[in-house]
Chain A
Amino acid sequence: MRPAIILISFAAALQAQAPVEFQRDIRPILNKKCMACHGADERGRMANFRLDTHDGATGLSGGYKGIVPGNSAASRVIARITDDKRPMPPSGPRLTPTEVSLIRRWIDAGAPYTSHWAFEKPAVKGTPEGNPIDYYVKARLDKAGLAFSPEADRHTLARRVALDLTGVPPSKELLNAFLADTSERAYENLVDKLLSQPQYGERWAKMWLDLARYADTQGYEKDNNRTIWPYRDWVIKAFNDNMPFDRFTIEQIAGDLVPNPTESQLIATGFHRNTMTNTEGGTDDEEFRDTAIKDRVAVSGQVWMGLTAGCAQCHTHKYDPISHKEFYQLYAFLNQTEDNDQPSDAPVLKLANASTLVMKELAGEKRRKTRIHDRGNFLNPTDEVQPDVPTAFHPLPAGAPRNRLGFAQWLVAKDNPLTARVTVNRFWARMFGRGIVETEEDFGTQGATPSHPELLDWLAVEFMRTDWNVKNLLKTIAMSRTYRQSSNVTPALLEKDPDNRLLARGARFRLDAEVVRDQALASAGMLSSKMYGKPVMPWQPDGIWLVVYNGDRWITSPGEDRYRRSLYTYMRRTSPYPSMSNYDAPTGEVCTVRRIRTNTPLQALTALNDPVFFEAAQKLALRTIGDAARSDRERADQLFRNVLVRPPSKDELQRIVKLHRETRDELKRNAAASQRLLHYDQTLYVEDREVTLAGDARKSPAEWQYTTDDPGADWLSASFDTSNWKRGKGMFGFLTAKDQQKEIITPWETDYIWMRHDFEMPAQAMENFRIFAKNTSGFEVFLNGVPAVSSVQDRGSYYEYRVAPQAIQSLKPGRNTIAVKATRTYGMGKNQSIDVSFVAARPPGYTPQTRDLADRAAWVAVANAILNLDEAVTRR
C-alpha cells in the first residue's frame, strides 16, 4: 500500500504545478456544482448571474459580476463558495478544498474560457508513422511506461475478428484457410474475406437498429404489429454495399427529398418512422405526433452528434450550447412530415412483397408552422420559429435547402465537428468494448473526455478524407497492432491500468445478446444463413405475450426460420424476447446508443436452461458424436473447438472427459433421461407432432351438432339424444362489420348456444392437450362432460387455453365428446361469435435402446457445459 500512497501524493504535487485548464479542470466543477442555477438556461438562472461564458461571469454582458479576472481575492464567487454561513451551492455537496483552490488559480490566471474540445473541428496532430492507431496508442503507452502486449495467437485472433466484424464465429473453411495461410498477408486476407461476407451487414445493422429504435410493433397499450422490416433489410444492404456514411445519413433522414428518389431511398426514411404510435381510446393524435417529432430531433442530435439535445425541449440546455428556441428551430426542419399518430401507420410505401413506413413531406397549404412549446408542452405554443441550426455550430452548407434534406446535409457537412468523431468512436467502441470517448451518447461538456484525443481526431479526419468509408475504417482498426494484441492480463498490467484505458493489451468483454445466441446456434451447425424478410419467431416460453386488447400470438416459425440470426427475431416492444433482454439487449422503445453490460444470474439460467440454448447443446452433441469410430478424447476435442475455435489444453480435455464419464454413469441408470436429452428438440417443438382432434375455421373445421334451445341439465351426458340438433361448422355467431361477417359459417344470434362434437382418440398415449378459441362471447368447454375451459374474455384471434387436468383424464381411446356452451356477452345486435378447436400431440419418437445410449446422451450435458464457459460468452 505504502508505495501507492506516495505515488498518489506525488501525482497530486505534480498537478499543483501544472497550469489549470478550463475544460479539463474547471468546467466539470462548474457543471456539477454551479450550472444548474448559473448556466445558459435563462429561466433557471438565479441572481442574474451566469458562469457559462466569460462575458457572463465577469458582468460584461450585463449580469452580476461574480469573477474579477486575475484577482480571486476580489471575486465574489470565491467569497461565496468559501462562506460557511451563506455557502454556494446552497444545498447539496460543497466544493472540496482542491476544487476551491483550482477555481482560485484559474481566476488568478485570468479566468480564461476555452471552448469545449468536441465543438472544435477535428484536426490531425503530429505526423503519425506506420499504422496511425498504433502511433497514437504507443505515444500514450510510452508516457505511462507501458508497452504493447504480444499479438494474440491465431485461433484467438480469428475468433475475435470474426465475432467483431460479422457477429458470428469464423466458419471452418475460413478458419482453416487462415491457419494454413503462411503468407505475410494471411491476417489481412482473413479481414478482407470477413468484410465481404453477407454476415458483416447483419452484424452492423443490429448496431444501427439499436439507434434507430427499430421494432416490429407500434408500442404503447395495444402494441400492434407494424411492418417496417424492409427498412431493416435496407440497413443490412447498405452496410454490405459499404454505402458511404454521408449518403447513408442523407437517405435515412431525407431520402424522399433527394431528386428522383429510388424505392430504396424511400425505404431508408423508415429510420425516423420507428417512433411509436398510440391507438388507445381518446388519445390526442397531435400530442403523439409532437412526441414523435421531439424524439426525432433528440435522436438525430444524439446519433450523429452525440448531443443530448432532448434536454432543450423544455428549457435551454444547462451545459451545452442548444437554447430552448434552437431546439424548436431544429424541430421545424422535421415538422413537415405527413405522418400522424394513428393506427393506419400512414404514409406507407407499397413494395412487391410488403409495405413499409416512409417519410413524406407535407404539401403546400398543409405545411405546418412551428412554435416554441413553453416548458416543452405542446399545448402551450409561444413564438413561431423558422428552421435553423444552433448558432454555436457550423452554418447550413451553402445552397442547402431549409428542410430535412438541408438538415441531413448539415449533419454530414465536413465542417461538422461532431458527426465524424461520434461515428468513428461508435465503430471503435464495438471493436474494443469501449469508446475512445466512453460516453458514446454524450460528446457535450458533461461527457467523458477522450482517452486518446489525437487518435480520435485522426480517425475522424481520415474517415471524412476517405469519403466516409466504413469498411476502410474497420479494416484500419482490425489491422492495427493495438487491436491484434493478446488480451491476457498480468498482475502488473492489472495494477497499472485495471480498466485497460491505455490499451496495453487486447480488449476482452462479454458478447452481445444476439451474438451469444447466434454463436450457440453456429457452433451446433444450426444457424440459418437465410437473409432478409419478415421477422421470425424462434421458440419462446408460453405466456410471454399477454398484451391487453391484442390477441396476436407467438407462433413458433417452421423449419430453418427457427434458427435465423437473432436480428430477424420478432421484436415486440412491450414483450421483448426473454433471452435478449436477459443479456441487456434493448427493446426498441428508445434510441440506445450504448448497451450497458450487466452480470446477472438470469444470464446463467438462460444459457444453461433456455430451451433454445439447450437445443443447441443437443445438436452440438449429435454433431460431435458423429462417426462412431471416434474416441472420447477426439469427441471432446471436436466439441470444444466447435464452440471456442481453439484446441483445448491437456487439462481442459481431461476435465471434459471426466464430466462425460460422470454424466454417462448417471444416465446409465436412467434410460428415459437419456432419451429426453438425445431427442430434446422433439419434446420442444410440440407443433411438429400435433394432431387435430376437433378443427376450427382456420383449417379443416369440425362439424358440430348444436341447438339454441335449452337442452336441460343432462345435455353433457354421453347418452344424451342430440338427433334433433342442427349441424354446422365454426365460426358460429354474428358480426356487425361487413368484412368480418364473412368469417361466420353458421349464424347464431340468440343468447345461448350448446354445441357437441364426437371425435376419435388414437390408441397411442397423447400429450400436450390444448384448446384454442376465438370468441366475443363467454364460453365453457367440456370433455366427456368434465369442465375443461371456462372464459368470459373477448379474444379477437385464436387464443390458447389450458385444459383442466380432470378433463384430460376423462379421455380414452375411441369415441369421446367435446361440448361447448357459449353465452352472448354484448347486447342484441352487437358482435357475438365462438369458434373452438381441440388439439393434442403424439409423444416424441424415441430411438430404440442401444448399448451406447447413455454414452451418447452424456455428450448433451457436456455440450451444455461448454456453451456456458466464460470464454464462450466472451470476446477476447
Chain B
Amino acid sequence: MSNEFSATRRHFFRHCSLGLAGMYMGSLAAQENPLAAKKPPLPAKAKSVIYLHMAGSPSQLELFDYKPELQKYDGKDCPQHLLEGKRFAFIKGVPRMMGTPYKFAKHGGSGAYVSELLPKFSKIVDDVTIIRSMTTDQFNHAPAQLMLHTGNPRFGYASMGAWATYGLGTENQDLPGFVVLVSGGNNPDGGKSLWGSGFLPSVYQGVQCRTQGDPVLFLSDPEGMSRNMRRKTLDAIKDLNELQQKQYGDPETQARIAQYELAYRMQISVPKVMDISKESDATHTLYGTEPGKVSFANNCLLARRLVENGVRFVQLFHWGWDHHGSSRREDIRYALPPQAKVTDQAIAALVTDLKQRGLLDQTLIVWGGEFGRTPMRENRGGSYGEFIGRDHHPYGFTMWLAGGGVKAGLNYGATDEIGYYAVENKVGVRDLQATILNQIGLDPYTLHYPFNGLNARLIGPTDEGKVIKDILV
C-alpha cells in the first residue's frame, strides 16, 4: 500500500481503518458523521461531563482549605524562603501573611472542612471528592486556563470538550455535542479558544448557548420568516439540491441536504432544551433560577437538561473570582461573599438534582478555577490600601469532583500548614485531564491527533499525567 494514500486529517473521517486516530472511529456510521456516538475504547464510568469553571480563580483559603496555623501568622511578613525564585502577578517585595476572615466547620460523614460562605455545599460534601492539593505551572489567567482546558498554555490546541466529542461523538444528533454556557458578565480570560477545536477539525469545537438572545447564534429565523415559510424554503432547497445532484452526481450534495435538515431539527430541539420556564417551582427554588436571565444558576439547571438530553460535554464558565483586593469589588470581604452565595446554591442544587434523577452516576462534575490564591495578602504596587485580597497562586489550590465514578465523601490531598504548597497526594492539571478522559472511557495516553509532526494529546507530550486512581470508585 502506497503512502500516497496515507491517513491525512481529511481521511480520518472517510477511511477510518487507516491512520492511528482511526481507532476511535471504527463504525460505519462514524465514517459518515464525525459526531456519531462511538463505543468508548475503555469501560466508561461517565457518559457526560459537566465542567464548572470558576474563571478568575476562587480563593481556596476562604472556601475549602482550613488553615488555623495561617491565622497565627496573620499580618506578619512572609518568610523569605517562600518568595525566593517565585514570580507573582502583582505581589511586590515582601508581602504579609493573611488569615481568612471566615469561619470553617467540619461537615458530613466525611468530616470535610468547608467555610461558612458555602452553607449549601456543606450539606452535600458526602457526595463529592474534594482535592485540596491541586497544582499548575501557570500563574496568569489566560495561560492557566488554556493549560487546564487544552493542555498547553499557548493558543492553538484542542479543548477537553473537543477531545471528548472527537473520541466519543455524541448521543443526540439534534443538539451540539459540546455546549458552552457563560455567566458572570465576561468571557473567561482565555477567550473562545478555551472551547475551540484547535488543530482538531472545527466540527468538534464547543457551541456557545445563550440564555438571552438566540440560544445558539443564528438559530432563530429572521423576523417575518415564519416556521411554515422556513419549512417551505428548506423543502425548495432540498428539491433544488436533489435536481443538481442528479445533474452533477456528487455524493457530497447529500451531506449538504442532511446538514440543512439537521439545522432545522436544531431549531426545534435547542430552544426546547434551553427553555427552563416549564421546570417545576420546586426545581426553580432549589437552584435559584429565574427564566430569561443570564445567571450561573440558570446555566447549572441547563447543564442538567443538556446531559439529560444526551449532550456529551457541558462546559460552564462563571467569571468574577479574581479577588485581588485592589478595589471594593475585588475585596474578599465585600465581593467574595455574594459571588460565593450565587454559586453555592446552584452547585449544591445541581449535585442534588442529578442524584435524585439517577443521573449523577453517569455524569462527572468538576468544579474549580485555573489556579489558587496566595496565603499572603496582595500588596499591589508594593503597598497596602483599604481593601484586602490575594494574588494568583499555582502551588496549591482546591477543586472538587462528583459523580461519574468518583468516590463520594472523600477528602483528598493537602497543602502545608499555611496553605502554600500542596504537600500530600499532589494532583497536577495533567492528572485531572487524564482522569476526566479515563472516566468517560477514553485512554488519555493513546487519544491523539497528528499535529506539527507530533501525535498531540490533551495530556501533553510526556506521560507525567496519571489517572488519580485513589479518588475513583
Binding site for B on A (CB under 8 A): 15, 23-24, 27-28, 32, 92, 219-221, 223, 276, 278, 280-284, 291, 298, 302, 308, 310-311, 314, 317-320, 434, 438-439, 441-442, 444, 446, 448-451, 487-491, 494, 499, 501, 508, 541-543, 546-548, 573-576, 578-579, 581-582, 584, 587, 589-590, 596-606, 608-611, 614, 649, 651-652, 655-656, 658-659, 662-663, 666-667, 670, 672-677, 680, 683, 778, 792-794, 802, 825-827, 830, 857, 860-862, 864-866, 868-871, 873-874, 876
Q: Does B96 contact A (CB under 8 A)?
A: no
A-B contact pairs, 29 of them (CB 8 A): A15-B1, A221-B142, A278-B142, A280-B141, A282-B139, A308-B453, A442-B453, A541-B213, A541-B217, A574-B187, A596-B201, A596-B202, A597-B10, A599-B256, A600-B203, A601-B260, A602-B218, A608-B230, A608-B233, A652-B240, A676-B224, A683-B223, A794-B327, A794-B329, A861-B229, A865-B236, A865-B240, A868-B237, A870-B252
A865/B155 contact (C-beta < 8 A), A599-B256, A614-B222, A825-B328 known: no
- Contact B6–A448 (Cβ < 8 Å): yes
Q: A645 → chain B, closest Cβ, in Å?
A: 14
Q: Mark B445-471, 1 if CB is under 8 A from A, else 0.
A: 010001011100000010000000000
- Of residues 206 through 226 on chain B, the ones whose CB sits less than 8 Å from some CB of chain A are 207, 210, 212-214, 216-226
A24/B3 contact (C-beta < 8 A), A311-B454, A489-B249 known: yes
A283 to B213, CA, bound (A): 37
- Contact A438–B236 (Cβ < 8 Å): no
Q: Does B272 contact A (CB under 8 A)?
A: no
A499 to B250, CA, bound (A): 11
- Contact A651–B243 (Cβ < 8 Å): yes
- Contact B253–A219 (Cβ < 8 Å): no
- Contact A488–B249 (Cβ < 8 Å): yes
Which residue from chain A places its CB closest to the CB of B335 in the assembled complex?
A792
Q: Does B89 contact A (CB under 8 A)?
A: yes
Chain B residues closer than 8 Å to A587, beta-carbon distance:
155, 192-193, 196
Looking at the complex, which one of B89, B219, B256, B387 makes contact with A282 (CB distance below 8 Å)? Answer: B89
Chain A residues closer than 8 Å to B219, beta-carbon distance:
605, 609
Q: Mark B224-261, 1 if CB is under 8 A from A, else 0.
A: 11101110110111011101110111111101110110
Which residue from chain A places its CB closest to the CB of B225 in the assembled complex?
A861
- Of residues 264 through 288 on chain B, the ones whose CB sits less than 8 Å from some CB of chain A are 266-267
Chain A residues closer than 8 Å to B454, beta-carbon distance:
308, 311
Q: A842 → chain B, closest Cβ, in Å?
A: 17
Given contact pairs A584-B202, A663-B233, a sample of 15 additional A-B residue pairs in the complex whose CB atoms are under 8 Å apart: A221-B141, A314-B461, A317-B453, A448-B4, A543-B213, A546-B186, A548-B189, A587-B193, A602-B216, A605-B216, A794-B329, A857-B224, A862-B236, A870-B253, A870-B256
Which residue from chain A places its CB closest to the CB of B453 in the assembled complex?
A308
Looking at the complex, which one of A278, A448, A488 makes contact with B140 (CB distance below 8 Å)? Answer: A278
Q: B56 → chain A, closest Cβ, in Å?
A: 8
Looking at the complex, which one of A219, A442, A827 makes contact with B155 (CB distance below 8 Å)? Answer: A219
Which residue from chain B places its CB closest to the CB of A579 in the assembled complex?
B218
Q: B51 → chain A, closest Cβ, in Å?
A: 19
Chain A residues closer than 8 Å to B105, beta-carbon distance:
none
Q: Does B88 contact A (CB under 8 A)?
A: yes
- Of residues 318 through 370 on chain B, the ones whose CB sits less than 8 Å from some CB of chain A are 319, 326-329
- Contact A861–B233 (Cβ < 8 Å): yes
Q: Mark B144-165, 1 if CB is under 8 A from A, else 0.
A: 0000000000111000000000
- Contact A223–B191 (Cβ < 8 Å): yes
Chain B residues closer than 8 Å to A24, beta-carbon distance:
2-3
A663/B229 contact (C-beta < 8 A), A280-B142, A574-B193, A578-B217 known: yes
A291 to B140, CA, bound (A): 15
- Contact A870–B222 (Cβ < 8 Å): no
Looking at the complex, which one of B2, B226, B255 makes contact with A673 (CB distance below 8 Å)? Answer: B226
Chain B residues closer than 8 Å to A869, beta-carbon distance:
237, 240-241, 244
Chain A residues closer than 8 Å to B243, beta-carbon distance:
649, 651-652, 655
Q: A394 → chain B, closest Cβ, in Å?
A: 21
Chain A residues closer than 8 Å to B90, beta-carbon distance:
281-282
- Contact B222–A680 (Cβ < 8 Å): yes
Q: A737 → chain B, closest Cβ, in Å?
A: 14
A548/B141 contact (C-beta < 8 A), A319-B453, A442-B453, A601-B262 known: yes
Looking at the complex, which one of B187, B207, B225, B229 makes contact with A575 (CB distance below 8 Å)? Answer: B187
A604 to B143, CA, bound (A): 34
Chain A residues closer than 8 Å to B233, beta-carbon distance:
608, 659, 663, 861-862, 864-865, 868
Q: Does B107 contact A (CB under 8 A)?
A: no
Chain A residues closer than 8 Å to B225, beta-carbon distance:
673, 677, 861, 864
Number of B residues contacting the other chain (C-beta, 8 Å)? 101
- Of residues 63 through 105 on chain B, the ones whose CB sits less than 8 Å from some CB of chain A are 87-90
Q: Does B44 contact A (CB under 8 A)?
A: no
A494/B327 contact (C-beta < 8 A), A32-B20, A291-B154, A601-B266 known: no
Q: A829 → chain B, closest Cβ, in Å?
A: 10
Q: Does B109 contact A (CB under 8 A)?
A: no
A490 to B241, CA, bound (A): 17
Which residue from chain A places its CB closest to the CB of B185 in the assembled complex?
A793
A302 to B452, CA, bound (A): 9
- Contact B328–A826 (Cβ < 8 Å): yes
A802 to B244, CA, bound (A): 46
Q: Does B190 contact A (CB under 8 A)?
A: yes
A446/B450 contact (C-beta < 8 A), A221-B189, A827-B386 known: yes
Chain B residues closer than 8 Å to A596, beta-carbon distance:
9-10, 201-202
A589/B193 contact (C-beta < 8 A), A283-B140, A489-B251, A651-B243 known: yes
Chain B residues closer than 8 Å to A310, beta-carbon distance:
452-453
Looking at the complex, which one of A28, A590, A864 makes contact with B156 (CB distance below 8 Å)? Answer: A590
- Contact A451–B4 (Cβ < 8 Å): yes
- Contact B4–A548 (Cβ < 8 Å): no
Most buried by B among A318, A581, A604: A604
Q: A669 → chain B, closest Cβ, in Å?
A: 10
Which residue from chain A places its CB closest to the CB of B255 in the assembled complex?
A599
Q: A86 → chain B, closest Cβ, in Å?
A: 21
Chain A residues closer than 8 Å to B232, beta-carbon distance:
659, 662-663, 666, 861
Which residue from chain B places its CB closest to the CB of A309 in the assembled complex?
B453
A825 to B55, CA, bound (A): 22
Chain B residues closer than 8 Å to A792, beta-carbon distance:
329
A876 to B233, CA, bound (A): 23
A-B CB proximity, top 3 nearest: A574-B191, A308-B453, A676-B224
- Contact A601–B263 (Cβ < 8 Å): yes
- Contact A494–B218 (Cβ < 8 Å): no
Q: Does B309 contact A (CB under 8 A)?
A: no
Q: Does B188 contact A (CB under 8 A)?
A: yes
A27 to B6, CA, bound (A): 12
Chain A residues closer than 8 Å to B218, beta-carbon distance:
541, 578-579, 602, 605-606, 608-610
A818 to B219, CA, bound (A): 35
Chain A residues closer than 8 Å to B142, beta-carbon distance:
220-221, 278, 280
A857 to B222, CA, bound (A): 13
- Contact B263–A608 (Cβ < 8 Å): yes
A573/B155 contact (C-beta < 8 A), A680-B222, A826-B327 known: yes
- Contact B237–A546 (Cβ < 8 Å): no
Q: A802 → chain B, closest Cβ, in Å?
A: 8
Chain A residues closer than 8 Å to B267, beta-carbon distance:
605
- Contact B155–A276 (Cβ < 8 Å): yes
- Contact A28–B6 (Cβ < 8 Å): yes
Chain B residues closer than 8 Å to A441, beta-carbon distance:
452
A599 to B155, CA, bound (A): 24
Q: B444 → chain A, closest Cβ, in Å?
A: 14
A860 to B230, CA, bound (A): 12
A444 to B453, CA, bound (A): 8
- Of residues 1 through 18 on chain B, the ones whose CB sits less than 8 Å from some CB of chain A are 1-6, 8-10, 14
Q: B328 → chain A, closest Cβ, in Å?
A: 5
Looking at the complex, which one of A283, A659, A673, A676 makes contact with B236 (CB distance below 8 Å)? Answer: A659
A599/B203 contact (C-beta < 8 A), A448-B6, A610-B218 known: yes
